[in-house]
Amino acid sequence: MAKHISVDISHLGEPPAQPAAAERGRNSCPDCGSHYREEEMVANLRVCTHCGHHFPVAARERVAQLADPGSWVEIDGDLRSDDPLEFVDSRPYPERIAAAEQASGLTDALITGTATLGGQPVVLAVMDFTFMGGSMGSVVGERLARAADVAVDRRLPMVSVAASGGARMQEGVVALMQMAKTVAAVDELREAGRPFVSVLAHPTTGGVAASFAALGDVIVAEPRALLSFSGPRVVKQTTGENPPEDFGLAESNLRHGHIDLVVARPELRETLARIVALLQGGRPYRPAQPAPLPGTLGRAARGASRRLRGLFRRDDPV
């Protein structure tokens, strides 16, 4: 019997995905199969104009969707995670962070800054699910707490947009402590009489769903977003029962009183501006007419805006 077996390995079948193919997958609607070019996705606010499916939005693009042009000033962008546990799973934690930084262009899963929203100064805190599943570690917690400090010091309202898989396991108990820390930060906002509006994007789960994101004075969610401590699969495994079909979705949370509004993305900016104006007790919010974008992008944006308005027409403005 032979002691050694010689094996030749060569790749058969599909070649590795090319960037164009990756974009095709990313920009194809999982609900209706419609496909969009990247510039159409940006103009559509990453909402399918055919069926209304909400695609994920990266943090910087979300800021561009919500903040008035040129008003965003980032704070604490240089904070970086330490590796307190010297944690290694299949890769060391610092390697994972470096890969996430390279892939996302961010230094952690939350960016914070000041901006104006419909002409009103606010503190904005926006999560990015592409950075290690939007997990909350020491940097996310610290940035959120410091953002709340800025809101208190400058007497501004705070708006956060969450998208998270929960606490960052690579930071262990340090990550879990961020739940208490962010809850305390929201409490300070409340004591100082600063409004806090929490927006929940798909998915907002685990330690983020169970801390600051659930504590807005007004909690707004995007349609069909999963908002739950655990997802339906884990609930089924734990309880042995089948959860309802819409378990944990924004619409179910609205029915059960866990959130205040479900707002489609094309109406999110205006809705947030109205809520902030109401909570600030100032003059009623009057939307400004934005200057039209020139050229092809302008035409694409105007077309998308018309189609999206048709999809999400509402009779109950806030």
Q: Give yes or no for a contact between 302 and 295, defined as CB atoms under 8 angstroms apart.
A: no
Identify which of residues 154 and 306 has a Cβ nearer to Zn ion in the complex. Answer: 306
Q: Is 50 in the site for Zn ion (CB under 5 A)?
A: yes
For helices 268-280 and 59-66, give the axis angle rounded to 10 degrees.
Answer: 70
Task: Give min distance, CB of 306 to Zn ion, in A.
Answer: 17
Q: Name, in order, each residue with C-beta under 8 angstroms of 71's C-beta and a sequence gap of 6 or more.
A: 114, 115, 116
Q: Which of 157, 161, 166 is nearest to 54 (CA)?
A: 161
Cα separation, 154 vs 9, in Å, equals 63
Q: Is 31 in the site for Zn ion (CB under 5 A)?
A: yes
Task: Please choose, out of 25-33, 72-80, 95-103, 288-296, the segment that lies near Zn ion by the rule CB under 5 A.
Answer: 25-33
Task: Give min distance, CB of 27 to Zn ion, in A.
Answer: 11
Q: At residue 9, what are phi and psi to the nearest 5 degrees?
A: -115, 125
Q: Is 29 strand, coil or helix?
A: coil
Task: Give min distance, CB of 46 to Zn ion, in A.
Answer: 11
Cα separation, 115 vs 69, in Å, equals 9
Q: Give yes or no for a contact between 114 and 123, defined as CB atoms under 8 angstroms apart.
A: yes
Q: Give yes or no for a contact between 29 and 8, defined as CB atoms under 8 angstroms apart.
A: no
Cβ burial 95-108 (10 Å sphere, 16+ → b, else e): ebbeebeeebebbb
State the number of binding residues for Zn ion (CB under 5 A): 8
Task: Give min distance, CB of 51 to Zn ion, in A.
Answer: 3
Identify which of residues 49 and 182 has a Cβ nearer to Zn ion in the complex. Answer: 49
Identify which of residues 31 and 82 has a Cβ nearer to Zn ion in the complex. Answer: 31
Task: Please choose, out of 26-34, 126-134, 182-190, 217-225, the segment that lies near Zn ion by the rule CB under 5 A.
Answer: 26-34
Looking at residue 295, its amino acid is G
Identify which of residues 210 and 311 has a Cβ nearer to Zn ion in the complex. Answer: 311
Task: Give min distance, CB of 237 to Zn ion, in A.
Answer: 30
Task: Give min distance, CB of 77 to Zn ion, in A.
Answer: 34
For residue 299, count other CB atoms closer than 10 A to its CB. 13
Q: Is 35 in the site for Zn ion (CB under 5 A)?
A: no
Q: Which of 208, 148, 203, 147 is nearest to 178 (CA)?
A: 208
Cα separation, 31 vs 10, in Å, equals 36
Which one among 41, 42, 43, 48 touches Zn ion, defined by CB under 5 A? 48
Q: Is 51 in the site for Zn ion (CB under 5 A)?
A: yes
Looking at residue 315, its amino acid is D
Q: Is 82 in the site for Zn ion (CB under 5 A)?
A: no
Identify which of residues 80 and 306 has a Cβ nearer to Zn ion in the complex. Answer: 306
Task: Please choose, out of 23-31, 164-172, 174-182, 225-233, the segment that lies near Zn ion by the rule CB under 5 A.
Answer: 23-31
Q: Is 32 in the site for Zn ion (CB under 5 A)?
A: yes
Q: Give yes or no for a contact between 118 and 69, defined as CB atoms under 8 angstroms apart.
A: no
Task: Please choose, out of 32-40, 172-180, 250-258, 306-314, the segment that lies near Zn ion by the rule CB under 5 A.
Answer: 32-40
Q: What's the token pair of residue 24?
A: 């095709």
Which one among 24, 53, 60, 224 touches Zn ion, defined by CB under 5 A? 53
Task: Please choose, out of 46-54, 63-71, 204-212, 216-224, the segment that lies near Zn ion by the rule CB under 5 A.
Answer: 46-54
Task: Give min distance, CB of 199 to Zn ion, in A.
Answer: 22
Q: Which residues bind Zn ion (CB under 5 A)?
A: 29, 31-32, 34, 48, 50-51, 53
